[in-house]
Structure formats: structure tokens, C-alpha cells
């Protein structure tokens, strides 16, 4: 004869299982923990954010984008080509391309096949060549060959998304936009400067917290910081100018403030 456990016994058994499960969970390391994947740090305060950008500005008063271009059109093309590619790789391909075609009219005359030959060292070059020709045609048809200065108009062009539009608006037209790429997304979350689960959340947060005097150059400083200092796998925390302000709990070393 098998005896059924009493209600009190079942309750005690469940409590014991819950206690064991909780202890195991506390002892287990967090999934995905590592460079760039640590639990989100606390958000930085206004004074700390002000100090971060003060230091960036002191070190590099006039930061520049690293994509080589001649005019707003070639900038637009370069940014479109830079998707899933390095700036260095894009520059290597576009130096010759822009010598041959630096306006929408010249690009259309060059043709998709020749554009493809110029950029064949860049990832997704087939699709990108089609987009370059298509956006050039649209610029001629709808904007008299001039790159528009609004995000809405830019985002109607083939191959142009929000990030690309923000880069063009910032560099070509001096607008205070935040082009959130993988570097800015990482820096915003890792430091506690602008936490967000999506690039748009990080962009919106940056627009809300970056002090007015620093907004024009903010995205350049953050991109360069993420590209050369706050890198994904091996962040160079000992050399970081904002290490004492950064809230990331897994810094590679602690350093005194500069």
C-alpha cells in the first residue's frame, strides 16, 4: 500500500526544492556575462555626464568622422557603403570611385556594373551597388541632385536608414543628431551614460542627457571612444579618460581620474 504524503509534507517538500533551486541559481554565473554583456550599470547623473563630455572635448575639440568624402553626396554614398564594413575598407574602395563619380549624375552615368567593380572589396557589394545607383537616380528625380537635409527625406532613399540619415545630417548639415552604431550602443549601455535595449532607445536617451554645448560632436566622441578605447572584447580601461566615472562593473583595471 502506497501512502500519499500529507498536505503538510507536500508543502515542506516544495519549500526544500525551492531553497535548493534558489541556492543553485545564486551560485551559478550570469548567462552571457563577459565584455559588453555584463548586467547594465546604474545610470550616470547630470554632473557626471557633463564631466565625461568635458573631458572628451578637452582631448579632441573638433572630432571628425573617419569616412573620406568630398561633398554631401559622396558622404551619403560612403555611409551607405559602410554598413557591415569598416571605414578603412570603405575608404580604400571609394577613393577611386569618387574620382570617377562625385555627383549623382556622374554616378548614374557610371552605371551599376562599374560601381560594383569599384566596391567589390566591400561586403554586400552587389546590393550596395544597386542602392548607390537607385539613390542617385532618386536624388536627381526628386531633389535636383541635392542631398536633402531632413531625416524624413533621406530615409526614403534606397539603402538609407535612420543611422545613415543621422550621420549625413550631422556631418554635412551640422545638425545635432545621434547616429547610434554598434560602438555607441555598447558605450551607452556599458558606461551607464544612455542605457537602452535598442539603438533608438539609446539615441533617445542621448538626446535627453547630453548637455547642449556638446551635442554637435557627441556621436563622434562616442564612436571614437568605442572604436579605440571601450572596445567590445578587450576594453582598454587603464587608458580610458572616463574610467573613474564609468559604471561598468567589469572594468579591466581601475585607474585614477585624469
Catalytic machinery residues: 163, 181
Q: Name residues whose C-beta falls within 8 Å of residue 215's C-beta, 6 or more positions apart in sequence.
A: 176, 207
Give the Å distances, CA to CA, from 32 to 35, 46, 134, 191, 233. 9, 30, 41, 18, 13
Long-range own/partner contacts, residues 31-39 (CB < 8 A, 24 or more apart): 33/250, 34/250, 35/232, 35/233, 35/234, 35/235, 35/250, 36/186, 36/190, 36/232, 36/233, 38/190, 38/248, 38/249, 38/250, 39/249
Question: Residues annotated in the binding site for [4Fe-4S] cluster, as ranges?
Answer: 230, 237, 240, 246
Q: DSSP 3-state assignment of 2?
A: coil
> Which set of grid coordinates corresponds to residue 105?
549624375
Amino acid at each position: 500500500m502506497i501512502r500519499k504524503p500529507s498536505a503538510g509534507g507536500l508543502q515542506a517538500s516544495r519549500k526544500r526544492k525551492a531553497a535548493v533551486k534558489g541556492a543553485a541559481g545564486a551560485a551559478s554565473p550570469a548567462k552571457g556575462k563577459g565584455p559588453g554583456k555584463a548586467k547594465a550599470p546604474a545610470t550616470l547623473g547630470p554632473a557626471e555626464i557633463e564631466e565625461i563630455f568635458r573631458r572628451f572635448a578637452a582631448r579632441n575639440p573638433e572630432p571628425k568622422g573617419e569616412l573620406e568624402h568630398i561633398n554631401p553626396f559622396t558622404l551619403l554614398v560612403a555611409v551607405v557603403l559602410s554598413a557591415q564594413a569598416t571605414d578603412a575598407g570603405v575608404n580604400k574602395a571609394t577613393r577611386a570611385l569618387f574620382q570617377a563619380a562625385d555627383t549623382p549624375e556622374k554616378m548614374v552615368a557610371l552605371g551599376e556594373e562599374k560601381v560594383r567593380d569599384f566596391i567589390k572589396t566591400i561586403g554586400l557589394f552587389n546590393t550596395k551597388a544597386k542602392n548607390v545607383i537607385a539613390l542617385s537616380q532618386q536624388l536627381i528625380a526628386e531633389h535636383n541632385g541635392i542631398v536633402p537635409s531632413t531625416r524624413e527625406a533621406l530615409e526614403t532613399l534606397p539603402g538609407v536608414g535612420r543611422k545613415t540619415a543621422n550621420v549625413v545630417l550631422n556631418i554635412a548639415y551640422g545638425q545635432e543628431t545621434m547616429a547610434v552604431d554598434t560602438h555607441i550602443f555598447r558605450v551607452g549601455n556599458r558606461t551607464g551614460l544612455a542605457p537602452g535595449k535598442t539603438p533608438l532607445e539609446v539615441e533617445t536617451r542621448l538626446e535627453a542627457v547630453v548637455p547642449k554645448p556638446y551635442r554637435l560632436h557627441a556621436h563622434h566622441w562616442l564612436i571614437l571612444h568605442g572604436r579605440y578605447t571601450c572596445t567590445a572584447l578587450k576594453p582598454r580601461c587603464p587608458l580610458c579618460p572616463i574610467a573613474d566615472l564609468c559604471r561598468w562593473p567589469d572594468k579591466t583595471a581601475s585607474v585614477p581620474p585624469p
